[in-house]
């Protein structure tokens, strides 16, 4: 960690000033971003300053970015973010030495650049894998430069300082691995035979990737991960826990059809198949696209499909009910549509009055008969001594 323990002290430092000129971003905005990343990741005091110093002064790590079975959506989400600092920061924080989509070079030149970057940064470069890796039939279903995806990822991972899988396809197979999976599409971790940091999502939030890279740049290691390899700072809470519609779930208010009254009022989408109760991600808190509140699937009115969760996204039908991980609605919750009371009709009132009148008359007659019977009984009963003397 750097010498400065306060991020405010860095605002006028030479390194941050140079970064401001290089990126065209205000130093305050840059420092705010570092503070936000440190807070989101749950890092201790002073980590935000260390991050800022590392980004401003440290040598950019070399990054080898591989593409396999995917739609390039992960890269697109990274480049199309609306926030003006993100695309500049991500390309300034790292030295992107190999990326098939962004490369100006092609063919033998591109492959030569990858080999040169790996040799020059042996043991230090960051390997990013985007897309599933087909292993069936010796991996013939995906080749780059005449080399299978299986061989390429193993070759690049052998001398990498760290390996990160970005997107659901690289993290657990994603869309290519569903159904019959004719190509044997597998995750990067499965091919390498070990748990590696995964940043799942279709696409994942670019800030989760940026935070992971900055953590690696600052501390020389990747952030803590869960048993599935996902960074805990981003994937340790259920979407359901922080969803803006959670109050409606707790109150038993659900949208039953797209466009119905409940849907228009923003009720919970659980009955429409929302997978938020069984999916771990920070989508409702970090949002997408830097365009403000509600900029995530559930916020726009569509159920979460569980794209960050293996066995949920691209496995369960979109509108199948989710498995509730940590909460079950109690029986005391009201039904979805409660019966509404109606005013009594004239006929019903008359009938009720007649029944009530008959009941009242019957009660009066019963009371009178009981009283008469009691009086007759007293007259025929023998008098006791005390009664006779009196």
Task: Give the number of other Cβ atoms within 10 Å of residue 164's Cβ.
Answer: 26
The overall pTM is greater than 0.75: no
With CA atoms as reference, report the closest residue to 185 among 314, 36, 34: 314
Q: What was the pLDDT predicted at 214?
A: 82
Mean pLDDT of 146-154: 95
Q: What was the pLDDT predicted at 373?
A: 52
Q: What was the pLDDT predicted at 115?
A: 93
- For residue 1, name the pLDDT band (cuts at 50, 70, 90): very low
pLDDT tens digits, one per residue of 171-221: 999 999 988 899 999 999 999 999 899 999 999 988 898 888 888 888 888
- 3.40.190.290, 4.10.480.10, 1.10.1740.110, 2.60.40.1230: which CATH number matches 237-340? 4.10.480.10
Q: What are phi and psi of 127, to 5 degrees?
A: -100, 125
What three-state secondary structure class fits 72? coil
> pLDDT exceeding 70 applies to what percent of the chain?
72
- For residue 22, name the pLDDT band (cuts at 50, 70, 90): low
Q: What was the pLDDT predicted at 312?
A: 94
Rounded CA gap, 233 and 349, in Å? Answer: 65
pLDDT tens digits, one per residue of 65-111: 999 999 999 988 877 665 555 566 666 677 888 988 888 778 888 89
Query: Which range among 73-87, 149-163, 324-338 has the greatest average pLDDT?
Result: 149-163
pLDDT tens digits, one per residue of 249-302: 999 999 999 999 999 999 999 999 999 999 999 999 888 877 777 889 999 999
Q: What was the pLDDT predicted at 309?
A: 94
Average pLDDT, the chain: 80
- For residue 341, name the pLDDT band (cuts at 50, 70, 90): very low
Q: Is the pLDDT of residue 385 over 50?
A: no
- For residue 389, name the pLDDT band (cuts at 50, 70, 90): very low
Per the model's pLDDT, the better-predicted residue between 381 and 16 turns out to be 16
Q: What was the pLDDT predicted at 386?
A: 46
Q: Where are the domains of the chain?
A: 59-234, 237-340
With CA atoms as reference, report the closest residue to 277 among 238, 246, 247: 238
Burial of 165 (0-12, 13-18, 19+ CB in 10 A): buried
Q: Is the pLDDT of residue 142 over 60?
A: yes
- Fold designation for 59-234: Rossmann fold (3.40.50)
- What the block records as the tokens of 231 is 């960074």
Q: CB under 8 Å to 165, separation ≥6 — which residues? A: 128, 129, 171, 187, 188, 189, 196, 197, 198, 199, 200, 229
Extract long-range pairs of 37-42: CB within 8 Å, 24+ residues apart: 37/207, 37/210, 37/211, 37/214, 40/207, 40/211, 40/233, 40/234, 40/282, 40/286, 41/211, 41/215, 41/223, 41/231, 41/233, 42/232, 42/233
């Amino acid at each position: 960690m750097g010498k400065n323990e306060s991020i405010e002290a860095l605002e006028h430092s030479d390194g941050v000033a140079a970064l401001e000129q290089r990126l065209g971003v205000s130093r305050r905005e840059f420092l705010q971003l570092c503070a936000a990343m440190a807070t989101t990741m749950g890092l201790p005091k002073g980590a935000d300053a260390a991050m800022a110093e590392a980004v401003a002064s440290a040598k950019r790590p070399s990054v080898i970015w591989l593409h396999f079975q995917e739609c390039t959506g992960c890269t697109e989400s990274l480049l199309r973010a609306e926030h003006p600092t993100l695309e500049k920061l991500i390309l300034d924080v790292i030295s992107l030495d190999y990326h098939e989509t962004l490369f100006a070079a092609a063919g033998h030149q591109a492959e030569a650049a990858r080999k040169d970057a790996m040799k020059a940064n042996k043991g230090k470069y960051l390997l990013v894998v985007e897309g599933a890796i087909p292993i069936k039939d010796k991996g013939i279903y995906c080749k780059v430069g005449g080399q299978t995806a299986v061989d390429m990822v193993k070759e690049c991972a052998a001398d990498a300082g760290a390996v990160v899988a970005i997107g659901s396809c690289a993290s657990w197979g994603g869309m290519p691995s569903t159904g019959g999976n004719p190509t044997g599409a597998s995750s990067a971790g499965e091919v390498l035979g070990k748990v590696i940091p995964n940043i799942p999502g279709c696409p994942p939030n670019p800030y989760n990737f940026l935070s992971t890279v900055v953590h690696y740049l600052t501390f020389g290691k990747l952030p803590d991960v869960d048993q599935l390899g996902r960074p805990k700072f981003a994937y340790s809470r259920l979407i359901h826990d922080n969803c803006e519609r959670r109050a409606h779930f707790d109150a038993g208010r659900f949208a039953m059809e797209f466009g119905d009254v409940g849907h228009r009022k923003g009720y919970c989408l659980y009955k429409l198949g929302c997978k938020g109760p069984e999916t771990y991600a920070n989508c409702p808190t970090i949002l997408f696209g830097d365009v403000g509140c509600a900029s995530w699937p559930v916020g726009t009115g569509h159920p979460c499909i569980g794209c960050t969760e293996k066995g949920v996204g691209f496995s369960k039908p979109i509108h199948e009910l989710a498995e509730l991980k940590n909460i079950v609605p109690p029986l005391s919750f009201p039904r979805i549509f409660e019966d509404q009371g109606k005013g009594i009709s004239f006929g019903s009132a008359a009938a009720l009055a007649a029944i009530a009148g008959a009941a009242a008359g019957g009660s009066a007659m019963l009371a009178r008969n009981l009283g008469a019977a009691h009086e007759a009984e007293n007259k025929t009963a023998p008098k006791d001594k005390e009664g006779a003397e009196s």
